[in-house]
Structure 1
């Protein structure tokens, strides 16, 4: 197991390098002069030239990238063009709200999708099955940003039950939960639609296996058959889908954080793109990449829990 984890971590190094090269190339090719944007359109040409030299914009793109990577190896993600703050400090302030939003959104996804998928499979072709599939198709088709705007209109503007935007209160308090509820629901429900369909499909395949019929023939209770025998064996494809959904959840938080003015990394990234703030863009994407890679590693490791035949020796 430990050797497998080490190998996977070593493999992530070229993946992260590849991601940062692609992002850096796109950023460098984007139109607009970051120095001019930072100083304003009326700035003196000499001041713009000095800032370009300080930022290294007069260097070739590959030299800028290598200088940035050397700083990353030393734990330095550079300084923001606007304000001159350390990118590491800016990200450290924003990473916790983003993780809060993503984790709660995933919990909402599981709470909705797993029970609906199991019920839909057990009650195949019933009204419960049809209703669950209608729910799944509806949420798959609903863009998260549009759902977020509808939630704000109904529950914040009309009913005044939740804050319109922002993050308030200490963590795990009712105030914090009320500010987190709408963005987490907007992020989690859309992912629940696809996971519901996958859970149903996987459960139907398992329920038709011989060992399930044998368990029922032995007189084992239906609840035990479903949740002890069938559910555990149906989790492998579900976990695979969860691993694929993790990057989508984090990418979805970029839009949702903007809609709800949530002070996370997604909003920081959007602001950095609009202002051509190269160091912040590169640093934020790097942290996103590391989070997604580690999350998928955790998902792969959980395979062995649900299926003991899977080993990593």
Structure 2
């Protein structure tokens, strides 16, 4: 297992380098002059030129990229064009709220999707199955930002049950839960729709296998058949989809954080793109890429628990 993890980490190095090249290329060809944006429309050409020199914007793109990569290797993501703060410090402040939101959203996804998918498969073609699939299709079709706005309108504006925006309180406190509830629901329910359908499909396939009929023929209880025999064997494709959902949840927080004014990395990234704050954009996207790599590695390792035939030696 240890050797496999090391090999996977080594393979991800070229992937991350490729990501940094793409990020830098997109950033440099994006229209807009950061110096002009920072100084405003009334700035003189001389002032703009002086700030461009200070920011290093007049240097060739490949030189700026190599200098940035040299800093990344040493843990230095550069300095923000606005304010001169270290990008790593800005990301460190924002990544915790984003991770909190993503984790709670994933918990909501799993709590809704797995039981609903299993029940829908066991009760195939009944009203329970039909209602479950109706909800799943509704969640898939509903854009997360639109669901977020509806939740704010109903539960914050009309019923005054939850705060409209922001984040306060210590983690797992009542105050913290009240602030994270709506953005986490808006993020997690859309993913739950897709995972519910996958769970149902995977369970239906397993429930028709011969060993399930054999287990039932031996007099094993239906609950044990479903959750001990069927569920474990149905988890491989479900885990694959969960692994794909993790980066999508993190990327989805970019929109949700804007809707709920959540102080996370997504909002930081949107503000940086708007201000053409290139170092912050590069640093934030790189961190997102690292999160995706770690999520995929965790999914691969989880496979061996549910399927003993998979070996990493």
Question: TM class by shorter-chain length?
Answer: over 0.9
For 2:64 and 2:307, locate their aligned partners in 1 and report how far apart those are by CA, in whole Å: 47
Shift of 1:222: 0.5
The answer to whether the aligner puts 1:191 opposite 2:200 as a matched pair is no
After superposition, the C-alpha distances for 1:109-146 in whole angstroms (9 at most, x for unaligned) are: 00000000000000000000000100111100000000
After superposition, the C-alpha distances for 1:41-70 in whole angstroms (9 at most, x for unaligned) are: 222322322221122110111111111001
Q: Which runs of 4+ in 1 moved over 4 A?
A: none
Aligned partner of 1:173 in structure 2 is 173
For 2:25 and 2:19, locate their aligned partners in 1 and report how far apart those are by CA, in whole Å: 10
Aligned partner of 1:296 in structure 2 is 296
For 2:62 and 2:243, locate their aligned partners in 1 and report how far apart those are by CA, in whole Å: 33
Aligned partner of 1:48 in structure 2 is 48
Aligned residues between the structures: 313
Q: Which runs of 5+ in 1 are unaligned?
A: none
Aligned partner of 2:67 in structure 1 is 67
Structure 1 residues 279-288 or 48-57, which shifts more? 48-57
Aligned partner of 1:273 in structure 2 is 273
After superposition, the C-alpha distances for 1:184-220 in whole angstroms (9 at most, x for unaligned) are: 0000000000000000000000000011011111111
Mapping for residues 246-261 of structure 1, pairs under 5 Å? 246-261=246-261
Query: What secondary structure sits across from 1:84 in the alignment?
Result: coil
Structure 1 residues 185-194 or 46-55, which shifts more? 46-55
Question: What is the TM-score normalised by the length of structure 2?
Answer: 0.99
For 2:172 and 2:43, locate their aligned partners in 1 and report how far apart those are by CA, in whole Å: 46
For 1:215 and 1:167, locate their aligned partners in 2 and report how far apart those are by CA, in whole Å: 50
Aligned partner of 2:30 in structure 1 is 30
Query: What secondary structure sits across from 1:26 in the alignment?
Result: helix
For 1:98 and 1:291, locate their aligned partners in 2 and report how far apart those are by CA, in whole Å: 12
For 1:53 and 1:69, locate their aligned partners in 2 and report how far apart those are by CA, in whole Å: 20
Q: Which runs of 5+ in 2 are unaligned?
A: none
Mapping for residues 7-26 of structure 1, pairs under 5 Å? 7-26=7-26
Aligned partner of 2:215 in structure 1 is 215
For 2:282 and 2:54, locate their aligned partners in 1 and report how far apart those are by CA, in whole Å: 17
Query: What secondary structure sits across from 1:32 in the alignment?
Result: coil
The answer to whether the aligner puts 1:305 opposite 2:311 as a matched pair is no
